[in-house]
Amino acid sequence: MMGTLYVIGTPIGNMEDITLRQLETFRNVDFICAEDTRVTLKLLSRYDIHKPLVSYHEHSGREVADRITERILNGENAGVVTDAGMPCISDPGENLVKICYEKNIDVKVVPGPSAVVSALAVSGLNTSRFTFEGFLSVTKKQRFEHLESLKDEKRTMIFYEAPHKLNSTLKDMLEYFGDRKISICRELTKIYEEVLRMTISEAIEYYSIKSPKGEYVLVVEGKQNSEQKSIDINDALKQVENLVEAGEKPVNACKAIAKEYGFRKGDLYSTFCKSNQEEDSSDE
């Protein structure tokens, strides 16, 4: 008789955030697929559970997944966990579930805490509609394309971020989204849990003097109706010119108009400089 794959949630920080059903499932499965076996072993040992662990992480190939599914097809029940929270969400377990469905293996869920939903719940932002965007790419091109695709997103957006990249991410968000409300959730359910509710520019200022520590979930306000003022690049340039004529520096004028109407500051500034050069050439 074929076995079952159980997708099992685990605590996101506080080890006491575990359910009776999760513990029962851990005790009943034949083996557990873990992102980091050391982390999972620590959790199981706390509750005196002893089960064989199989390493299954982002670098595990199809061969590893096939060995796991072969065991399930032969009648063993398996659990899959991540280091913290619900597996298979922005997580290597996603591929294992897909392969199980390819092979008609039954997959059941044993739900647990989620950093995404927990952060959203305490964010103070709109929770009725949201989109989870995971980690932004470390590759600049992909990172900027991702942010560009979201600049008109009306739903609340949720991102994961590491401490060493937080400052650059906040600056990129300000560039693409403008100065929106943001909830910065750090170390959720742990001893040093902290939730900061501010604007993106205030967050940049805050972390310019305070070093980021811990893992972060960023909850960003979606584009508001008041932001929906739509003008083309020529109208935007006219407004830049008006500010410059009033005494504002070109770079600051471009920054202000880009922020108000959703343009990229760099694009607006380069277009403004180019148009001024063309005017100077025509006057000669």
pLDDT of residue 266: 86
Cα gap 1→54, rounded to integer Å: 22
Q: What is the pLDDT of residue 281?
A: 58
Bridging pattern class, strands 181-186 and 216-220: antiparallel
- Which residue(s) pair with 156 in the sheet? 130
C-alpha span between 89 and 94 (Å, rounded): 7
Residues of the chain under the 70 pLDDT cut: 226-230, 278-284
- DSSP-based three-state secondary structure for 176: helix
Concatenated DSSP letters for 33-86?
A: EESSHHHHHHHHHHTT----EEE--TT--HHHHHHHHHHHHTT--EEEE-SSB-
- What single-letter amino acid sits at 113? P
Residue 113 pLDDT: 93
The whole-model pTM stands at 0.76
Q: Which CATH class is domain 4-113?
A: alpha beta
Taking alpha carbons only, the member of 112, 60, 61, 69 closest to residue 87 is: 112
Q: How far is residue 282 CA from its own chain's centroid?
A: 49
CATH code linked to domain 116-226: 3.30.950.10
3-state secondary structure of 212: coil
The answer to whether residues 200 and 219 touch, using CB atoms and an 8 Å cutoff, is: no
The domain ranges of the chain are 4-113, 116-226, 229-277
- Closest CA relative to residue 82, chosen from 106, 62, 110: 110
Three-state secondary-structure class, residue 163: helix
Q: Do the Cβ atoms of 122 and 128 come closer than 8 Å?
A: no
3-state secondary structure of 159: strand
Q: Are 146 and 137 in contact (CB under 8 A)?
A: yes
Q: For residue 239, what pLDDT is reported? A: 87
Structure token digits, residue 119: 């952060």
Predicted local distance difference test score (pLDDT) of residue 228: 46
Residue 135, SS3 per DSSP: strand
